[in-house]
Amino acid sequence: MHAPDMARRLIGAYDGLRISDGRSVTVAVEIRTVSLPTEQAEYMDQLVSTGAYATGSDVLRAGLIALKERDDAIERWLRDEVMPVAVAMDANPSLAIPAVEVFAGLRALHAERLNTGGRDL
Q: Where are the alpha helices (DSSP H) in the chain?
A: 3-10, 38-49, 56-77, 83-91, 99-115
Q: Are residues 48 and 23 in the same domain?
A: no
The predicted structure's pLDDT at residue 12? 45
Q: Are residues 20 and 53 in the same domain?
A: no
Q: Are residues 41 and 74 in the same domain?
A: yes
Determine the average pLDDT of the residues in 46-56: 94
Q: Which residue has the higher pLDDT, 7 or 108?
A: 108
Residue 120 lies in a domain: no
Residue 11 has pLDDT above 50, yes or no: no
Which residue segment(s) compose the domain that 89 sits in? 32-115
The predicted structure's pLDDT at residue 8? 45
